[in-house]
Amino acid sequence: MSELLGLAGPALILASELNPWLFATGAVIIGLLSGLIGAALARAIILKGREDRTEVADAARAASIFVFVFFAAIGVIVAVGVTSRDSLRPFPRSCCRTHLTCSRPD
> 3-state secondary structure string, 32-60?
HHHHHHHHHHHHHHHHCCCCCCHHHHHHH
Q: What is the pLDDT of residues 14-36, one digit of tens each?
A: 655 668 888 889 999 999 999 99
DSSP 85: G
Percent of the chain with pLDDT over 90: 39
> Which of 33-37, 96-100, 101-105 has the lowest average pLDDT?
101-105
DSSP 8: S
Nearest CA to 82 among 32, 29, 22, 33?
A: 22
Please list, in sequence order, all residues whose beta carbon lies within 8 angstroms of the beta carbon of residue 28, skipping any fewer than 6 positions away: 72, 75, 76, 79
Task: Look at 13 and 52; give whichever has higher pLDDT.
Answer: 52
Q: HSE (CB half, 13 Å, CA atoms) of 33?
A: 6
Percent of the chain with pLDDT over 70: 66
Q: Is 11 helix (H, G, I), strand (E, B) or coil?
A: coil
Q: Is 14 helix (H, G, I), strand (E, B) or coil?
A: coil
